[in-house]
Amino acid sequence: KTILETGQEPEGWQQATYYRYWMHMAHRHQNPAHFGIRTKDHKLIFYYGKYWVDTDDPNATWNKESWGNDFGNHTPPAWEFYDLKQDPKEMNNAYSDPKYKDIIAGLKDQLIKLREDINETDAKYPHIQKVIDAHWND
């Protein structure tokens, strides 16, 4: 029987998922670039707020004529954390709530490991890594 039929997770079943939204302020959606981790019970998101091309570099090239894109508009770095059991609609950013301090620290550790495991670090994007380093412990 499958997990869909039984609801029973096989031994070693992945407990967290990493995701990333690269297209900073694209297509009039006005979504800042970010990455995060999600478990069954929690979601932690870091908005680093810069396009993958360093738009502050005068020698950088990107499609500046693409309709609806605002890649050069840097947005403020920010964290969001949701307790999906208590807040399934993600209405309350609980990142600053001290009762979640240990959970958030654990999620950050998992996030680092997941990013390294899939070679999704920002070593090739120093303008993004600089933001991550400056705000990781906010």
Lowest mean pLDDT among 59-63, 91-95, 96-100, 126-130: 59-63
pTM of structure: 0.88
Question: Does 113 fall in a domain?
Answer: yes
Domain around 127? 14-135
CA distance linking residue 108 with residue 39, whole number of Å: 12
Cα separation of the two ends of the chain: 45
Question: Does 95 fall in a domain?
Answer: yes
CA distance linking residue 21 with residue 55, whole number of Å: 17
Q: What is the pLDDT of residue 119?
A: 92
CA distance linking residue 102 with residue 81, whole number of Å: 12
Question: Is the dihedral angle over the CA atoms 120, 126, 131, 137 positive or is it negative?
Answer: positive
Domain count, the chain: 1
Q: What is the pLDDT of residue 26?
A: 83
